[in-house]
Every structure is written in structure tokens, then in C-alpha cells.
Amino acid sequence: MPELPELEVVKEFLQKELVGQTIKYFEVLKPLVFRNLIPQDLKSALLNKTFAHVDRRGKFLILSLGSEPHLVINPMLSGRLYWSPPEEKRAADTFIIFGVSGGRELRYVDPKTMGKVYLTNELSLVPGFALQGPEALNVSREEFRERIKRYRGEIKGAIIDQSFLAGIGNAYADEILHHARLYPFLRRPRLSAEEVDRLYDSIQAVLDEATSRVRAQMGEEIHLKFREELKVHGKKGEPCPRCGTPISEVKVRNRATNFCRHCQPGIMQGRSRRLASAALPETGKIKPK
């Protein structure tokens, strides 16, 4: 799933390349992911309209055509944007194409058909948009301390909750918690004041470093993932870069959590332990990987 670092760099790229260009043609090849939230038909709403601004809010990209309407893209698990010459072969899961005056096409591709593209005059009509908390890289330490007090569950669940902070998903949550040396399934009320501050510092450090790294690598390949340098997420069985312990993986509700049992010690409790145990064969015990 694209998260804040990738989407921020895609936003920067499109702000530079797309703004000022006019939609000369468009195709909705598969309408399943497209939602028209305005009364106009698509042709009158889009054709010959010029992109005026590109922004990001959490895990949404906002492509504005003047003051309105807006194309709002929520890529979810596998949605990607391609910046392609028209003659380049289209990916099999291409859903929407915008041909612009500069001669390129902006294509929305989504192999798992989970993302959505909305056309709207009001951003608040986009599901989930208005419920987002402050941007993860913009929240102050004081506001972070106050906001986190309301959460009673596991700390990873808090930091991927978009109403708490906008922009963090599963992958960078694992990286943040490893950086902070915090057990992902630790209940928030058990965090000390020092650990809350450490978590805040890790959010800022990990997301800032990742954004800079992706910015240096991406170029025009805005559809690619740049996560080879992640330390724990997706690294099951590989050595922890800090201590060498094999990285563990626990799956709860089809969401994998990767962490180091030496650097991030803890004991899974309650409902998450039961869910994880139910997914294991025979013994039902959570074993180090």
C-alpha cells in the first residue's frame, strides 16, 4: 500500500509535471473503481479542463481542476499511477486514462481493484477524507501526546489509525516501531512518557528519511515501490540490522506485522493473541520465526 513517503513524492512529481496541462481525452476502461460525485457528466466536467494543483492529504492524492472539481485518488492496497507515453503498452489492470496536452498519459492501475478515484466538488464527500487526523509529519509533540491518550488498544493499531495521524500504513508502522524499540502489540496505556516521546521521534525520523530516500530514487517511475531498504517490514526470517536476530512475523486479520523479538520484546495479550493463535497449526502457540 502506498503510504506517506511514496505519495508525497508522487505528489511532488505530478505538481511539477501535470500542473498546467489540459485533459485532451480520457477513458474509463473499467468503471468499478471510479465514483462521480458531481451532477455533471464526465465529458463536460473533465474534457479540456486544466490541472491547477496537486496535493496530498494522508493517503489520498488530490488533483484539482481549478477551484473545482477535484480528482481524489485513494490507491488503497495496490492502486498505482503510471506516467506513460501513449504508445507504451497498457498494464492489464488499467482502469482510467487521462491524456494530457503535453503528450503523456496519466493512468490509474489497480491489480486488486481495491482503490477508488473520486470526482467531487467537495472533498468532505470522499469516504474517510474528513475523518483524518493531522498529518504525521506536521503534528507537534504536544498535540501527539494529547491525542495518543485516547487510545486504549495496541500501539501499532493507534499509529495506523488515520483518524489519529494521517499517512502511516502497515509497512512504515513496522519501521517506526522497530526504530523506537517498541513491541507492536503493547497496549497504549502501558507506554511511559519517555516511550511516547520516543515513538514521536521515531515517526518523524523514519518518515522523513523514507521520503528523502524515495525522492532520490523515484524519478518518473511513480508506479514503483521503493522499499528494498526497509529494515523489518517484509523481512521475515532475515537478520535484524540492529542485533542480528531473525525478524518475526505475526499475522492478525490478514495483516502481517514484522518486528525483532530481541529489540522489541513483549508478550501478545488478549484478543490479538487469540486471533494470531487461531491462525497457527496444531499447537496454537506463537513461536519466534
12 assigned to active site: no
Pick from 141, 245, 146: which is nearest to 199 by CA? 141
Q: Which three cell numbers stand for residue 179?
A: 526504530
Among 11, 56, 57, 59, the active-site one is 59
3 assigned to active site: yes
Q: CA-based Rg of the chain, rounded to a whole angstrom?
A: 21
DSSP, collapsed to helix, strand or coil, labels residue 18 as coil
Q: How many CB atoms lie within 10 A of CB 140?
A: 10
Pick from 54, 53, 36: which is nearest to 45 by CA? 36
Among 141, 255, 274, 289, the active-site one is 255
Residues 6+ apart with CB under 8 A from 212: none
Among 3, 8, 17, 105, the active-site one is 3
Q: Rounded to an integer, what distance in angstroms lies between the CA atom of residue 214 and that of residue 212?
A: 6
194 assigned to active site: no
175 assigned to active site: no
Instruction: Spell out the alpha helix ranges (H) of the chain.
Output: 4-17, 42-46, 141-148, 155-159, 170-180, 193-218, 270-278
Residues assigned a catalytic role: 2-3, 59, 255
